[in-house]
Amino acid sequence: MCSNFQKKDIGRGAAYIYIEAIASLISGYLFWLIMSKLTTNDVIGTSSTVITFATIVAVIAGLGITTGMQPSIAKSLSEKKIDEAKLYFISCLLLVSIGIFVCCLIILITGGWIVNSFHIDFGLILMSIILVTSYNTSTLFRSVIVSSLRTRSLPLIFIGSAGAKIALGTLLLVLGLGSVGLVIAFTFNYILSSILLAAILLRTIFKNAEIKKLLRNLKVNTKKILLASMVNWVPVIIMLVGSQVGTIVVFGAYGASKAGVYFLALTIVTGISSVMSSLYTVALPTLSSLQDYRKRIAWQTIRLSAIIILPFSCSLIFFSYEIMNIFGESYVNGSISLQILLLSMLPICISDGVYTLAYSYRNYRYVFMVGLGISIPQTILYFLFVPLYGEPGAAMAYTVGSIIGCLASIIISKKMGLLLFWKELSIIFIVSTSLGYVLSNLHLNYILGIIFTMAFSYIILLKINIVTRADISDLLDILPDSISNQIVTFVRKFKRS
């Protein structure tokens, strides 16, 4: 079991990643909100389709390195073997660079066909190449910092780069650059964060690197990282295609305007998912370094993720019209898609937890099965549902695929001996959904409705001991004393009443 000191370090590492993820959710929402006010549905749809395409290619180019490297680097850093961690990093950087070069070359070769098939500007093809490169460097550098649990700098770096993205996007749209300007601004976020993250790595974790000494074992370590990455790479690509290709299918079937509406709804849901996956991000290197208690910690990670996310996501289901209306009247039709997409949160929570546990055991067959269980149904259903139902069909495919993947994860969890306590998960979901439904029927302002749904959900979960003293204790360990004292007072008040 982790010591109290290790537990606090892990908790604080997760806390900073949560802050970063919440900032990502808010800044992503603000970015697309501001952009939607400054330009048309078609510009939003075209740029979002290019961004989706570039993101898929970027993950292909990344070869799964950012996940495959984490157990090795985390173990080296935890054992204070800094030179070994540096060598792993050099191996990862080399592999990612090769992947980027090959994929970008393919984009250039097929660029003419892409332009003619989708009727987009060639400048967007060039920007997609820069996005593929900067996405991978930023993700690689961030993964090293996450593995070290020195995550304090991540929220500041993200907030700074996200702010620059919004400012640049606003300027370029005002100047009339349209979709190209939007993609430039989106890409600049990754460029700036890559520079800042590299500076942090060179100044702290990897300072005074002896390159010549490290290169002696480069071949062996590169092979080890590549093997660990490949088994994760294929299911991640499949899962990403399953979750993201819906935007491209909608673009091809109904045009840029509909694709833009669906993309914004999907962006809200993927933003929430990123907050939920923050705990899993820290859990992977942590679980990989443990010999015992992995299943217990994996279950607690699933449970805490559900406690944190479901009250918020369930409240949005009943206020989705108002949420989409903020972007403008032309986006309110996306409220149905948003409602359907939000139903995927609980299945994704479970699947991600099982996936993380399987990967920590290096049981790559189970990792592959979870990925296939989610993405294959999603991808097939996109092509079946989108022609029939439009963008709500894409949302249906996403959610149904997530549920099927969850069922596959449950089967795998039983084979690994992971106990899932369905009563607790069901209570969290039912309490959050019921309160959201009741408060929406009172015709409250949607902001108050969301806040009250979350607040009352946590009060009830505290009263019925779904949120326990141990949960509060773990939270207090990672918070400043001034905040933790207020939480203690609040909890005692409701426990006595």
* pLDDT tens-digit map of 205-228: 666 555 555 555 566 666 667 766
Q: What single-letter DSSP state applies at residue 120?
A: -
- pLDDT of 194 above 70: yes
The whole-number pLDDT of residue 483 equals 45
The continuous run of DSSP H or E covering 212 comes out as helix 211-214
Choose among 151, 22, 136, 153: nearest CA to 74.
151
Choose among 77, 92, 96, 95: nearest CA to 9.
77
The whole-number pLDDT of residue 485 equals 53
Alpha carbon distance 270, 24 (integer Å): 10
The whole-number pLDDT of residue 218 equals 61
- pLDDT of 330 above 70: yes
- pLDDT of 4 above 50: no
The whole-number pLDDT of residue 149 equals 65
- pLDDT of 494 above 60: no
Place of tokens 């996403």: 398
What is the 3-state secondary structure of 270-338? HHHHHHHHHHHHHHHHHHHCCCCCHHHHHHHHHHHHHHHHHHHHHHHHCCHHHHHHCCCHHHCCHHHHH
The more confidently predicted of residues 392 and 157 is: 392
Alpha carbon distance 327, 64 (integer Å): 35
- pLDDT of 476 above 60: no
241 neighbors 374 (Cβ within 8 angstroms): no
39 neighbors 69 (Cβ within 8 angstroms): no
- pLDDT of 480 above 60: no
The whole-number pLDDT of residue 204 equals 67
Q: What single-letter DSSP state applies at residue 164?
A: H
The more confidently predicted of residues 156 and 6 is: 156
The continuous run of DSSP H or E covering 2 comes out as none
Averaged confidence pLDDT in the chain: 79
φ/ψ (deg, to 5) at 195: -65, -45
The more confidently predicted of residues 27 and 135 is: 135
- pLDDT of 349 above 50: yes
The whole-number pLDDT of residue 346 equals 92
Q: Average pLDDT for residues 2-22, to the nearest whole number?
A: 58
- pLDDT of 436 above 80: yes
The more confidently predicted of residues 226 and 9 is: 226
Q: Average pLDDT for residues 113-124, to the nearest whole number?
A: 76
User: Predicted confidence band at 185 (pLDDT cuts at 50, 70, 90)?
Assistant: very high
Identify the weakest region by mean pLDDT among 1-5, 17-21, 80-84, 94-98. 1-5
Choose among 467, 452, 460: nearest CA to 497.
460
The whole-number pLDDT of residue 416 equals 87
Alpha carbon distance 114, 54 (integer Å): 12
- Among 6-10, 15-19, 270-274, 436-440, name the most confident range: 436-440
The whole-number pLDDT of residue 13 equals 54
pLDDT cut 90: percent of the chain above it:
19
The more confidently predicted of residues 291 and 413 is: 413
Alpha carbon distance 61, 70 (integer Å): 18
Q: Average pLDDT for residues 104-131, to the nearest whole number?
A: 83
Q: What single-letter DSSP state applies at residue 39?
A: S
User: Predicted confidence band at 134 (pLDDT cuts at 50, 70, 90)?
Assistant: very high
Q: Average pLDDT for residues 121-136, to the nearest whole number?
A: 88
- The radius of gyration of the chain's CA atoms, rounded to the nearest angstrom, is 22
